[in-house]
Structure 1
Amino acid sequence: MSADAGDFTRDPLIRAYAALLRSYREAASLSRAKLAEALGCSPGWIEKLEICEKPPSEATSDDLDTFFKTPARTFHTIWVEIKREGKQPVGLPGFPGYVRREAKASMLNIFAAMVLHGLFQTPAYAREVLKVGRSPEEAEELLATRLARQEIFQRPGLAQISAVIDEGVLRRPTGGLAVMKEQLDHLIGLADDPRVTLQIVPISKGAYQGNMGAFTILGFEQDPEVVYVEGHTSGQFMEDPREVRGHTLAFNLIRGAALSADQSLELLHKVVESL
Structure 2
Amino acid sequence: MPAQSEPYDGPAIVTFAKELEWRRKQAGLTKKELAEKLGFADSYVGQVELRKNLPSEEFAAALDTYFKVDGLFRRLWERINETRHLTILPPGFPEYLGYEEKASHVRVFSTNLISGLFQTEAYAGTIISLMMGSATPKFVAERMERKSIFERENPPHTFLVMDEDVIRRSVGGTEVMREQLNYLLEVGQREKTQLQIVPYAVGFHAGLAGSFIILGFENEPDVAYTEASAEGILLKRRDRVALQVVTWDLIQGQTLSTEESLAMIQDAMEQL
Normalising by structure 2, report the TM-score: 0.72
Counterpart residue identity of residue 149, structure 1: R
Q: Deviations over 1:172-196 (max 9, x none)?
A: 4445554443322111111222343
Q: Do the aligned partners of residues 153 and 195 (structure 1) sit closer, same or farther apart at CA in structure 2, a change above 3 Å counting?
A: farther
Partner of 1:116: 114
Counterpart residue identity of residue 114, structure 1: N
Q: Alignment partner of 2:38: what SS? A: coil
Counterpart residue identity of residue 145, structure 2: E
Partner of 2:30: 31
Partner of 1:187: 184
Q: Do the aligned partners of residues 22 and 228 (structure 1) sit closer, same or farther apart at CA in structure 2, a change above 3 Å counting?
A: same
Correspondence for 2:133 among 133, 138, 144: 138
Quote the Cα distance in structure 2 between the aligned partners of 1:163 and 1:266. 15
Q: Do the aligned partners of residues 74 and 129 (structure 1) sit closer, same or farther apart at CA in structure 2, a change above 3 Å counting?
A: closer
Q: Alignment partner of 2:86: what SS? A: coil
Counterpart residue identity of residue 227, structure 2: E
**In the alignment, is the contact (CA less than 8 A) between 1:198 and 1:261 conserved in 2?**
yes
Counterpart residue identity of residue 229, structure 1: T
Q: Do the aligned partners of residues 187 and 207 (structure 1) sit closer, same or farther apart at CA in structure 2, a change above 3 Å counting?
A: same
Partner of 2:15: 16
Q: Alignment partner of 2:139: what SS? A: helix
Normalising by structure 1, report the TM-score: 0.71
Quote the Cα distance in structure 2 between the aligned partners of 1:76 and 1:274. 50
Quote the Cα distance in structure 1 between the aligned partners of 2:213 and 2:114. 12
Partner of 1:54: 54
Q: Deviations over 1:4-25 (max 9, x none)?
A: 786x823122213312432454
Does residue 1:152 correspond to 2:146, yes or no? Answer: yes
Q: Alignment partner of 1:164: what SS? A: strand
Consecutive unaligned residues of structure 2, counting only runs of 5 or more, are none
Counterpart residue identity of residue 202, structure 1: P
Counterpart residue identity of residue 205, structure 1: V
Aligned pair count reads: 263
Q: Do the aligned partners of residues 139 and 194 (structure 1) sit closer, same or farther apart at CA in structure 2, a change above 3 Å counting?
A: farther
Q: Deviations over 1:211-240 (max 9, x none)?
A: 322212234567654322222343333333
Q: Deviations over 1:65-97 (max 9, x none)?
A: 856xxxxx9957983993695324353642753
Quote the Cα distance in structure 1 between the aligned partners of 2:27 and 2:4. 29
User: More deviation in 17-26 or 186-195?
Assistant: 17-26
**In the alignment, is the contact (CA less than 8 A) between 1:88 and 1:96 conserved in 2?**
no
**In the alignment, is the contact (CA less than 8 A) between 2:121 and 2:144 conserved in 1?**
no
